[in-house]
Amino acid sequence: MGQGVHVQELPGIGKRYDIDLGRADQRVSVVVRSGGVRDLYVFTSTSADPTAVIELSEEQARKVGAVLSATFFEA
Amino acid sequence: MHVDLVGLGAAVLIAGLVARAGRRVGLPTVPCYMVIGILLGPGTPGPTLIEHPEDLAMLAALGLILLLFHLGVEFPVEQVLGSGRRLFIAAGCYIAMNVSAGLALGFALGWGTSEALVIGGALGISSSAIATKLLIELHRLTNAETPVVLGIIVIEDIFLAFYLALLSPVLSDSDSAAEILRDLAVSFGFLLLLFAVARYGARLVGALVGTREDELLAVLVIGLVVLVAGVSEEVGVSDAIGALLIGLVVSRTAVRERVERLVLPLRDVFAAVFFVSFGLSIDVGDLGSVAVPVAVAVCLTLIANVAGGVVAARLFGFNQRGAANIGLTILGRGEFSLILATLALGAGLDARIGPFVALYVLVLAILSPLLAANSHYLARIMPDALLRPGWRYVREETISTSCTHLDQIKITTTDVDVCPACVADGEQWVELRLCVTCGNVGCCDDSPARHASAHAAGTGHPIMQSLEDGEDWRWCFVDETLVRAPAGTPVEAGEK
């Protein structure tokens, strides 16, 4: 995987991608389940327990991803 | 032919509605289905939706077959084999403790040897579905112990296959020792044959069922699965194990992912019928008479599970919280226990196994989500002596593997046993810390000079580890988190 993304297999669930944002109080992990559902883990404190976990369907994940990567632009 | 569509439809609908309500409060689905079967069946006073449970026998059998087939198809063989020795030891200890507790109870009950073997399996093998859903719901997918939990339940699934093979002669009606031996040889021979097909004949099987049309793929696969399960039953191996192994065969073919996707909804529906149908066979009056054995069984399982969690945590270097999370997450019993009970009842073993397993699954279904969610209380009271003493300050903390600096672990040992900066200044230190990026040794934050923290701040090197005897924790200064290497890679992988 690319720089700063750590991949962990989760047998029976899918794969987890831990994304390095370079800060302790801002961390993001994404779990891609084999069924297509994504769990977005957001850590806004240095605690190992996530601040928020959002479950996204494949369609929703695409939408969020498109906005984040700025490929989606509409006036 | 008599077809009771109204009864079947109503029972499945009500089971689904109750399971949906149960999910809102975090209950697993399997026991909900079973309870509806018990309540609406002929064995319970009150309204009876299904007068003749045997009408559902065919659909329930299909449910059992599809449950095991799907398990075989999605079986992550490579991941398990590549997961390393530590995971096998941890899972082996977990299974050994749970199954032997179950066997001990089974023999103590005095219902018979075959019955004891069934109870050993029913108590010993946890439910993958319940554990997986718990991990997702409790938001524990980034925890360090989660890959270990998932690895253990996958290895339990393999164990299930062998246990089913071991049980099949017991469940057939052989009397003499010679007959039992012959049956055992037949069932293991059949296992080996299917393993060989999985290894060498997957291409042939793929050619047999492979088609670009989803409709035909589903029809061909279901036909093949039911046929293999039926043949297994004929040769004296249970239909369950035949279905599991043909699942393994299909998992080696190119159509694996499509089959997984196509079979999933079928499995869910027919498995629900299977669980309802199991409930139908239970007389609610019998539940009272097995209450004491069930209470003992639940206590035994709890103890064995926590012990299993401690063993796994010791092996992988987790703290008390990790140990508690492992033991309590895989506490749930469900589909496999019910499958074993069904096979036992089908073979005409002691009828008390039915209500016993039903009540046991029900109690653990309610207990396991509650206990897993409150694992930090167990972590608080767990003695340090069980685990590594170095965790005493952080016993209740969750350990994360979401540290992204693991690639910077380069040096994990050193001969230096002083803090050189302190020696130069003529100062004293309390404990020593090693920078795993460059090998610098500094003193801890309880020491006056705090050279390790100063080194990390000055160089940007993220991770340090304790050099004290008996402690083996690492701390990431950037992520401010306790760090473990992910499961599957040896601890010293980064050593150069």
Contact with chain B for residue A13, Cβ under 8 A: yes
Question: If you average pLDDT over residues B171-194, what whole number do you get?
Answer: 76
A-B CB pairs within 8 A amount to: 89
Look at residue B489 in the predicted model and tell me its pLDDT: 35
The answer to whether A49 contacts B403, with C-beta atoms less than 8 Å apart, is no
In B, which residues are within 8 Å of A29 by CB distance? 141-142, 402
Look at residue B123 in the predicted model and tell me its pLDDT: 93
In A, which residues are within 8 Å of B132 by CB distance? 12-13
The answer to whether A12 contacts B153, with C-beta atoms less than 8 Å apart, is yes
Model confidence pLDDT, tens digit, residues B334-358? 889 999 999 888 888 888 999 999 9
Instruction: Indicate whether B81 pLDDT > 90.
Output: no
Model confidence pLDDT, tens digit, residues B382-404? 777 676 655 555 566 666 654 55
Percent of chain B with pLDDT over 70: 88
Nearest-by-CA chain B residue for A44: B479
Model confidence pLDDT, tens digit, residues B198-213? 778 888 888 888 888 9
pLDDT band at B167 (very low <50, low <70, confident <90, very high): confident
Question: If you average pLDDT over residues B62-82, what whole number do you get?
Answer: 84
CB B319 within 8 A of CB B313: yes
CB B146 within 8 A of CB B140: yes
Average pLDDT, whole number, for chain B? 84
In B, which residues are within 8 Å of A6 by CB distance? 402, 404, 406-407, 486
Look at residue B488 in the predicted model and tell me its pLDDT: 34
Six-digit token pair at B321? 């919280």
**Is residue A18 one of the residues assigned to a domain?**
yes
CB B473 within 8 A of CB B390: yes
Look at residue B391 in the predicted model and tell me its pLDDT: 53
Instruction: Indicate whether B217 pLDDT > 80.
Output: yes
Q: Which domain holds residue A26?
A: 5-68
| Spatial CA neighbour of B225 closest among B248, B204, B195, B253 | B248
**Is residue A63 one of the residues assigned to a domain?**
yes
C-alpha A50/C-alpha A11 separation (Å) is 21
Give the N- to C-terminal CA distance of chain A in Å, as an integer: 34
**Is residue A75 one of the residues assigned to a domain?**
no
Contact with chain B for residue A43, Cβ under 8 A: yes
The answer to whether A34 contacts B403, with C-beta atoms less than 8 Å apart, is no
In A, which residues are within 8 Å of B142 by CB distance? 16, 18, 29, 31, 41, 48, 50
Q: Which of B210-214, B305-309, B468-472 has the lowest mean pLDDT?
A: B468-472
Rounded to 5 degrees, φ, ψ at B48 are: -115, 115
The answer to whether B150 contacts A20, with C-beta atoms less than 8 Å apart, is no
Closest to A8 (Cβ–Cβ): which among B80, B135, B401?
B401
Instruction: Indicate whether B363 pLDDT > 80.
Output: yes
The answer to whether A10 contacts B154, with C-beta atoms less than 8 Å apart, is no
**Is residue A15 one of the residues assigned to a domain?**
yes
In B, which residues are within 8 Å of A20 by CB distance? 404-405
**Is residue A57 one of the residues assigned to a domain?**
yes
Look at residue B479 in the predicted model and tell me its pLDDT: 61
In B, which residues are within 8 Å of A24 by CB distance? 478-481
The answer to whether B147 contacts A22, with C-beta atoms less than 8 Å apart, is no
In B, which residues are within 8 Å of A34 by CB distance? 74, 260
The answer to whether A12 contacts B406, with C-beta atoms less than 8 Å apart, is no
Question: If you average pLDDT over residues B48-55, what whole number do you get?
Answer: 79
The answer to whether B136 contacts A13, with C-beta atoms less than 8 Å apart, is yes
Helix axes B239-251, B202-209, angle to 10 degrees: 90
In A, which residues are within 8 Å of B401 by CB distance? 8, 18
User: What is the distance of C-alpha B328 from the center of its chain?
Assistant: 11
Between B106 and B81, where is the model more confident? Answer: B106
Q: How far A40 CA sits from the closest chain B CA (Å)?
A: 10
Contact with chain B for residue A53, Cβ under 8 A: yes
What are the structural domains, with CATH classification, of chain B? Answer: 5-381 (1.20.1530.20), 400-483 (3.30.40.10)
**Adjacent-strand bridge partners of A68:** none
Half-sphere exposure of B207 toward its Cβ, with a 13 Å CA cutoff?
Answer: 3
Six-digit token pair at B151? 């690895």
Q: How far B402 CA sits from the closest chain A CA (Å)?
A: 6
Strands (DSSP E) contained in B55-132 are none
Instruction: Indicate whether B34 pLDDT > 80.
Output: yes
**Is residue A37 one of the residues assigned to a domain?**
yes
Six-digit token pair at B220? 């061909």
Instruction: Indicate whether A66 pLDDT > 80.
Output: yes
Nearest-by-CA chain B residue for A52: B139
**Is residue A43 one of the residues assigned to a domain?**
yes
In A, which residues are within 8 Å of B322 by CB distance? none
Alpha helices in B138-172 (DSSP H): 146-171
Query: What ipTM was predicted for this assembly?
Result: 0.87
* Number of domains chain A contains: 1
Closest to A48 (Cβ–Cβ): which among B83, B135, B398?
B398
Instruction: Indicate whether B493 pLDDT > 50.
Output: no
Nearest-by-CA chain B residue for A3: B404
Percent of chain B with pLDDT over 90: 31
**Is residue A73 one of the residues assigned to a domain?**
no
Model confidence pLDDT, tens digit, residues A25-46? 788 889 999 888 999 999 887 6
Look at residue B65 in the predicted model and tell me its pLDDT: 94
